[in-house]
Amino acid sequence: MQHQRVLIALAALIAAPVIARPSVAAAQATTAVPAKLLRICADPDDLPFSNDKREGFDNKIAALIASDLGDSLSFTWWPTRRGFVRNTLRAGECDVVIGVPKGYDLVAASDPYYRAAYYVVTRRDRHLAIRSLDDSVIRSLKIGVNMMGDDYANTPPGQALSARGLGANLVGYHTFYDNENRPGDIVDAVAAGKIDAAVVWGPIAGYYAKRSAVPLDLVALPDSDSVTGFPFAYDEVMGVRRGDREHLSQLNGVIARRKAEIAQILRDYGIPTATAPGTAASSSK
């Protein structure tokens, strides 16, 4: 979609409204910044991207960057919602955000380090063979999409499917973590047969499909939707404050030097990267 931050960024890029999820207490970074300290802005409860136990793939990439630079590593925790960048990066509490889509104008962007897209997720034993949102089989399916707030029509997949007259086929799933809902619920619903298919942001799709007891297939959507024109794929970058040339240069250097290791971290988490539209990506067993 970090899932929340990406989806908020995607919504901003297509001028869609954003509903904030409840905030959680943020552990503030110390004001005095020791030399050689890489300060990362991150969500404390946003797997597979990050959490305060440092179990997400963004946490692992941050640790790789710190190791390459010979820096110590610290995190400023703040829930992903409107105001995340303002309260972390722009407030000077931290210096780097791992994982924002290229073109997100609240940050200065590093070079891309992977490409993420939306995927159609189905049960392998259904043999649905969906290759695009225009496949005729889709019109008879119950399809899961993520929601921003209580509205599924303001996310790229929701808008694309609604524009095809499929609003009645859609089932909304919460984007944001709370006490009852988790981002993986939409993938679990496909596995459980509660819905026939889902259109899911790639990192969420791949991570939860890899952990599913039921084999699931993932098929990449095109880079942009032929009906709405909204993008379905983005280069993922790291963000710093505008004018922060030092951190930007350091990050670009690490991305170039450690490309293979970053790619391995993504594979370890089941994160699908640049895949030709209409082709199968990584899936569970």
Distance separating alpha carbons of residues 43 and 58, to the nearest angstrom: 10
Task: Tell me the whole-structure pTM to 2 decimals.
Answer: 0.84
Query: Once rounded to an integer, what is the mean pLDDT over residues 209-215?
Result: 96
Q: Tell me what pLDDT residue 19 has.
A: 30
147 has pLDDT over 50: yes
Q: How many CA atoms lie within 13 A of 181 on its CB side?
A: 17
Q: Is the pLDDT of residue 284 over 80?
A: no
| Both tokens assigned to 96 | 């780097």
Over residues 101-111, the mean pLDDT reads 95
Residue 225 included in any domain: no
Which domain, by its residues, includes 45? Answer: 3-114+233-268
The residue ranking higher by pLDDT, 8 or 272, is 272
Question: Burial, 97: exposed, middle or buried (Cβ in 10 Å; 0-12, 13-18, 19+)?
Answer: buried
- What is the model's pLDDT at position 18? 33
Number of domain units in the chain: 2
pLDDT(43) > 90: yes
Do 106 and 124 sit in the same domain of this protein?
Answer: no
Instruction: Provide the terminal-to-terminal Cα distance of the chain, rounded to the nearest Å.
Output: 24
Q: Are residues 43 and 100 both part of a single domain?
A: yes
189 and 216 in a common domain: yes
Supply the CATH number for residue 173's domain: 3.40.190.10
As a whole number, the mean pLDDT across the chain is 86
Task: Determine phi and psi for 281, rounding to 5 degrees.
Answer: -110, -165
Q: Are residues 10 and 110 in the same domain?
A: yes
Residue 99 has pLDDT above 60, yes or no: yes
Kindly state whether residue 275 falls inside one of the protein's structural domains.
no
Residue 252 lies in a domain: yes
Structure tokens at 275: 């895949």
Average pLDDT, integer, range 244-249:
97
Pair of tokens at residue 29: 């970074």
Average pLDDT over residues 159-171: 94
In a domain, 285, yes or no: no
- Decide: helix, strand or coil at residue 169: helix
Does residue 278 register a pLDDT over 90? no
